[in-house]
Amino acid sequence: MDESTNAAGDAPVDQDGTTGDGAVSGGTAGGSSADDSAAGSDTAGSGAAETGAPQEIRPPALAPTPPMGFNNWNSTQCGPEFTDSMIRGIADLFLSLGLKDAGYEYVNIDDCWALPQRDADGDLVPDPVRFPEGMKPLVDYVHSKGLKFGIYTSAGTRTCSERGFPGALGHERQDAALFASWGVDYLKYDNCHNQGVDARLRYRAMRDAIAATGRPIVLSVCEWGENRPWEWAFEVGQLWRTTPDIRDSWDSVLEIAKANMALAEHAGPNRWNDPDMLEVGNGGLTWEECRTHFSLWAMMAAPLLIGVDLRSVAPEAVEILTNREVIALDQDPLGEQARVVRSEDGLHVLVKRLQDGGRAVALFNENDVPARISTSAAEAGLPRSTGYRLRDVWARTDAHSAGDVTAWVPPHGAVVYRVTPEPAWLLLPPAVDAGVEPVLSRPGALPLVDPDAPSLVTTSLGDNGWLPVLGARVDLEAPAGWRVRPRGQRARSVLAGGDRLDTTWEVLPPAGLEPGRYRLTALFAYLYGWGRRVSADLEVVVPHRLPSGTSYLSDAPWLRASNGFGPVEVDTSNGEAEAGDGGPLTVNGRVFEKGLGVHAPSSVEYFTGGRCTSVSAFVGVDDEKPAAGSVVFQVWADERKVADSGALTTRDDAVELVADVTGARTVRLVVTDAGNGVDSDHGDWGDLKATCE
């Protein structure tokens, strides 16, 4: 399921706005309803539609820095709480929570604000239950707070809501004039029900319609990146969505961030890549992940549109959303999006040029274990200097470096520095990094510890400055009953600049320990001016052991799982939202009492510990989506793919998949989208079993 579930897709377009055969696409493709009959009237009347050539009209410079504000969709969607009083309350909270002072200015409403039908004059009508006074008084109220107001519609015959509210295709001039009469400052222009009309024509038509009103309205091109808008939408609006909808999960944030990170060359003042709204505080992310989410959006010079319901927002979310130092990176007047200068095994270095000549450097760890990430002032593009100031924008601390920019980054975390040449580096303490990590069998593996044999972890303390620290020492704490033994040196009387104290430790949990997650803590101490202490945590996993013989895998706890929509379901299909919202596992009429229900892209990992020989299942697309859906099922034994179903659709019967997993420490069950997007990709692992010694 995604934003485009009910949308007709656009034809591919060439850079000049024509379809592949050179003809200009205009009007609608096959629609004949009363609403569709007008489609193309305003659209075809735009200069782009008449000539097919790029127009001289350009959007005004209304967004010299990325827009900041709020949108209700991520928290309320079309729920009954989406009302006039709610939006007025949000405007009030901009002031009381310090959001306006932090730079947020747009209060934007999303879909479902209108009635399902236009009035006799063809105008959109605000829902009188949600907005009993109409829209103009609400806009005026937002303006009275020194804020700006944004509204939503779609570049199609209907909006994206399943309820089917009127879209603007064929009504661009009329709708733009109405929005301008209300005092609207920002338009989110979606892509649903576009009737196959060329994307550039549809969005140019709204650009021209806005220009005709004479009112400055920011145009947000929300076509989900389907037609590479970063290559042409700067002619149309001030920002453009580069990805499908964000979801309130780490997997979604990561997928979208990595897609948008590759588009740095296309961003700049008044032309911003938009990786979608913020999920900070909505509950699906840890606070560490929320900080990372906010950090990456700021580094990418992305619009910062709050998606949490501010009426019930947690203080931790407000603290993240109002971090002035992080916001300053997003709003830096130079307007550059950070570029990826290093990326390997889930560890990334992003560098963003700043107007003052400094650099913002983000060290980003997408993996499930801590990691030391390093770059240098030279790699960041800074000039040679006797020393550099490293300002940690989250910890709000300063240190000096001889040139290295290094940090231990927690799982799913990001450390962000503002780095500048510092002639007076001697006045700052040396930059010290400290952390603990497991010795892994492969990149991306979980830190598994087994009572049958010792596991290894490494602690590390590094001095990245010019001056030494004294009396460096490390200890490793574990839960009661665990055996911890160092294999090497754990103290240094002098730790010189550029040097490290690395220690390997054997860790052995007690026999009979319950499966679960346990914390190891490294305690570092050193002297620089005065005694300083630093701690670092590592969460390790004692895995569940599968029983001997053949058993249902769905009865066993997995190590970790990710899923496209909703959670992975046990013994039911995936319903896309809350746990337990699916039905019986059913593939082309065949029902399975046991198994897993997932939605692509999905991965479920189990511990097999080298004891299992085979994993088997009957796989296919669940009958919940009879008209769409295509997936591929794969079984991975450690890093080896040992089974692949090939592409399966809703028309296919369940296919038996048997995988030889002999010797594997872990097994991953993967479902992909078969290369054509994830819409309706509900996959079932029916009768899922493992055979172990």
The question of whether 2 is a catalytic residue gets the answer no
Specify whether 444 is located in the same domain as 420.
no
Q: In the 8-state DSSP scheme, what is residue 385?
A: -
Query: Residue 304: which CATH number?
Result: 3.20.20.70
Q: What percent of the chain has pLDDT over 90?
A: 86
pLDDT band at 287 (very low <50, low <70, confident <90, very high): very high
2 domain residue, yes or no: no
Q: How many residues does the chain have?
A: 693
Separation CA 584–CA 564 (nearest Å): 19
Query: Residue 530: which CATH number?
Result: 2.60.40.10
Region 403-416 average pLDDT: 98
Q: Do 626 and 586 contact (CB within 8 A), yes or no? A: no
pLDDT band at 548 (very low <50, low <70, confident <90, very high): very high
Specify whether 487 is located in the same domain as 571.
no
675 domain residue, yes or no: yes
Which of the residues 175, 185, 190, 198 is marked catalytic?
Answer: 190
Region 211-237 average pLDDT: 98
Task: Answer whether residue 296 shows pLDDT above 70.
Answer: yes
What is the structure's pLDDT at 521? 99
493 domain residue, yes or no: yes
31 domain residue, yes or no: no
SS3 category, 675: coil
Which of the residues 10, 185, 245, 330 is marked catalytic?
Answer: 245
Range of 385's domain? 341-428
Separation CA 506–CA 473 (nearest Å): 18
Of 523, 547, 517, the C-alpha closest to 692 is 547
What is the structure's pLDDT at 56? 53
Specify whether 424 is located in the same domain as 439.
no
* Preceding peptide of 601 cis, ω within 30°: yes
pLDDT in tens, 87-139: 999 999 999 999 999 999 999 999 999 999 999 999 999 999 999 999 999 99
How do strand 483-486 and strand 595-599 relate by DSSP bridges? unpaired
Query: Residue 555: which CATH number?
Result: 2.60.120.1060
The larger pLDDT score, comparing residue 72 to residue 37, is at 72
Beta-bridged to residue 114, according to DSSP, are 126
Average pLDDT, the chain: 92
Specify whether 393 is located in the same domain as 477.
no
Beta-bridged to residue 401, according to DSSP, are 388
How do strand 359-365 and strand 106-108 relate by DSSP bridges? unpaired
Domain end position, chosen among 542, 567, 601: 542
The question of whether 245 is a catalytic residue gets the answer yes
Orientation of helix 172-182 relative to helix 199-213, angle to 10°:
40
Q: Do 601 and 673 contact (CB within 8 A), yes or no? A: yes
Specify whether 407 is located in the same domain as 467.
no
Q: Do 190 and 200 contact (CB within 8 A), yes or no? A: no
Specify whether 231 is located in the same domain as 187.
yes
201 domain residue, yes or no: yes
Q: What percent of the chain has pLDDT over 70?
A: 92
Region 147-175 average pLDDT: 97
Specify whether 264 is located in the same domain as 311.
yes
Specify whether 347 is located in the same domain as 326.
no
How many Å from the N-terminal Cα to the C-terminal Cα in the chain? 40
What is the structure's pLDDT at 164? 86
pLDDT band at 624 (very low <50, low <70, confident <90, very high): confident
What is the structure's pLDDT at 43? 61
Specify whether 516 is located in the same domain as 627.
no
Task: Answer whether residue 9 shows pLDDT above 90.
Answer: no
Total of domains in the chain: 4
Query: Residue 347: which CATH number?
Result: 2.60.40.1180
How far, in whole angstroms, is CA 27 from its chain's centroid? Answer: 35
Of 647, 669, 587, the C-alpha closest to 620 is 587
pLDDT in tens, 522-531: 999 999 999 9
Separation CA 579–CA 600 (nearest Å): 16
Specify whether 447 is located in the same domain as 535.
yes
108 domain residue, yes or no: yes
Kindly calculate the radius of gyration of the chain based on its CA atoms and give it in whole angstroms: 28
11 domain residue, yes or no: no
Compute, in degrees rounded to 10, the torsion defined by CA atoms 40, 41, 42, 48: 60
pLDDT in tens, 435-451: 999 999 888 899 999 88
Specify whether 176 is located in the same domain as 271.
yes
27 domain residue, yes or no: no
Domain end position, chosen among 302, 330, 358: 330
Specify whether 159 is located in the same domain as 184.
yes
